[in-house]
């Protein structure tokens, strides 16, 4: 008789968009059945009902995804606590405190797998990895093999995004009338269409080629951000600013769109910084979109249209 696999629920929110290859390979290799939360708009609506207004939209969205998994009756929900993935930077307090917030706001959840991601506590981390494997009846050697494989898949995926052949000298042979626009922001804001109201699709329909920070090799992001007079100590914000600086200086990029969240402290600071860098280095068209649950799709469409029109006018004037 086939043995029933235990189910682990993975919410498609926040750092899922950076590390989903790690999550999926690791849990698959230790013998878990993976259940993902529903990416639909209804999931976001569930979260909006639960969390106070002053919290940022990505966190509200994450609550919706966890509620969705609760309704799917999984054996566990994976909710890592991201603290530090490298020496000098950290994550915002809402990301660090998310497992505690969730436990306090949503009652009767399945057991949470709260893996602490902390660069400076490696021994604890490897013990935790082994304990997680134990929940799915996987042994020590298999647990570490699964983790190694997860990292390998993650690096392969990251490398596939950064096309080193076309960077940094030139992006592409841009077809006539196509615009190259860099869309910067937290990966969850860029890749979750429910948070950005289908921005990427709207841009593609307007003949725009989109470039995002994760297409830029990490060495370039680090070099660009290291040139700033002050170090940025939030990991994701450092990546956004480093990539933005590169895009601003790149001759093939026609404009920059920064997607920020209302009520996000880091976004309010780096939004100002990117705006300063645009004036300092490139004087390129720059659009800051601050999104919350009240942002309307029609209003967003109008702003994008106006922005694209402005870029085309600037290009025509300079050609
Ligand atoms: S970085 Fe900003 S948008 Fe992301 S979770 Fe923290 S406060 Fe929210």
Q: Relative to the CA of 237, which ligand 1 atom is closest?
A: 1
| Ligand 1: centre distance to CA 141 (Å) | 36
Helices (H), the chain: 16-29, 41-50, 57-71, 93-96, 98-105, 122-135, 140-161, 187-191, 193-196, 199-205, 218-226, 235-249, 265-277, 297-318
237/121 Cα distance (integer angstroms): 23
94-99 LR contacts (CB < 8 Å, sep 24+): 94/55, 94/56, 94/59, 95/14, 95/15, 98/14, 98/59, 98/62
Name the phi and psi angles at 136, rounded to 5.
-110, 20
Q: Would the CB of 308 count as within 6 Å of ligand 1?
A: no
Q: Relative to the CA of 267, which ligand 1 atom is closest?
A: 2
Q: 291: how many CB neighbours lie within 10 A of its CB? A: 22
pLDDT tens digit at each of 319 positions of the chain: 667 899 999 999 999 999 999 999 999 999 999 999 998 888 888 888 888 888 999 999 999 999 999 999 999 999 999 999 998 899 999 999 999 999 999 999 999 999 999 988 999 999 999 999 999 999 999 999 999 999 999 999 988 887 654 444 445 555 667 899 999 999 999 999 999 999 999 999 999 999 999 999 999 999 999 999 999 999 999 999 999 999 999 999 999 999 999 999 999 999 999 999 999 997 899 999 999 988 889 999 999 999 999 999 888 877 7
Which residues have C-beta within 8 Å of that of residue 202, sequence separation ≥ 6? 300, 301, 304
Q: Would the CB of 266 count as within 6 Å of ligand 1?
A: yes
Q: How many CA atoms lie within 13 A of 20 on its CB side?
A: 15
What pLDDT does residue 166 have? 44
56/186 Cα distance (integer angstroms): 12
Closest to 47 (Cα-Cα) out of 70, 28, 68: 68
Q: Would the CB of 267 count as within 6 Å of ligand 1?
A: yes
Pocket test for ligand 1, best of 96, 186, 192, 234 (most atoms within 8 A of CB): 186
| Ligand 1: centre distance to CA 101 (Å) | 14
Domains within the chain, CATH numbers bracketed: 7-161 (3.40.50), 179-318 (3.40.50.11900)
Q: Would the CB of 58 count as within 6 Å of ligand 1?
A: yes
| Ligand 1: centre distance to CA 314 (Å) | 33
Pocket test for ligand 1, best of 83, 90, 92, 260 (most atoms within 8 A of CB): 92
| Ligand 1: centre distance to CA 95 (Å) | 7
The packing angle between helices 57-71 and 98-105, to 10°, is 60
What pLDDT does residue 43 have? 83
Pocket test for ligand 1, best of 16, 58, 258, 293 (most atoms within 8 A of CB): 58
What pLDDT does residue 283 have? 81
Q: Relative to the CA of 236, which ligand 1 atom is closest?
A: 1
Report the chain's terminal Cα–Cα distance, integer Å: 71
147/25 Cα distance (integer angstroms): 8
| Ligand 1: centre distance to CA 266 (Å) | 7
| Ligand 1: centre distance to CA 306 (Å) | 28
């Amino acid at each position: 008789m086939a043995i029933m696999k235990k189910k682990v629920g993975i919410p498609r929110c926040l750092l899922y968009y950076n590390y989903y290859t790690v999550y999926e390979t690791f849990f698959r290799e230790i013998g878990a059945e993976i259940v993902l939360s529903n990416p639909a708009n209804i999931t976001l609506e569930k979260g909006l009902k639960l969390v106070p207004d002053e919290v940022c939209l990505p966190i509200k969205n994450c609550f919706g995804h966890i509620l969705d998994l609760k309704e799917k009756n999984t054996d566990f929900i994976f909710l890592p606590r991201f603290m530090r993935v490298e020496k000098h930077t950290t994550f915002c307090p809402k990301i660090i405190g998310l497992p505690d917030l969730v436990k306090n706001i949503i009652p009767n959840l399945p057991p949470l797998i709260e893996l602490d991601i902390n660069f400076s506590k490696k021994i604890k981390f490897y013990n935790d990895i082994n304990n997680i494997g134990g929940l799915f009846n996987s042994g020590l050697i298999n647990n570490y093999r699964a983790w190694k494989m997860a990292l390998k898949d993650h690096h392969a995926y990251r490398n596939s995004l950064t096309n080193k052949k076309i960077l940094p000298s030139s992006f592409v042979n841009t077809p006539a009338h196509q615009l190259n626009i860099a869309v910067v922001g937290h990966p969850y804001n860029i890749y979750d269409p429910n948070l950005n109201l289908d921005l990427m699709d709207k841009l593609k329909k307007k003949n725009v080629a989109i470039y995002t920070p994760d297409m830029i090799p990490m060495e370039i992001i680090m070099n660009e951000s290291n040139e700033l007079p002050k170090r940025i100590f939030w990991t994701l914000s450092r990546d956004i600013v480093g990539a933005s600086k590169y895009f601003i200086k790149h001759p093939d990029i026609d404009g920059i769109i920064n997607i920020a969240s209302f009520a996000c402290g880091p976004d309010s600071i780096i939004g100002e910084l990117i705006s300063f860098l645009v004036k300092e280095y490139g004087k390129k068209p720059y659009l800051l979109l601050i999104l919350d649950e009240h942002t309307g799709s029609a209003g967003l469409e109008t702003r994008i249209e106006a922005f694209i029109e402005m870029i085309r006018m600037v290009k025509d004037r300079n050609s």
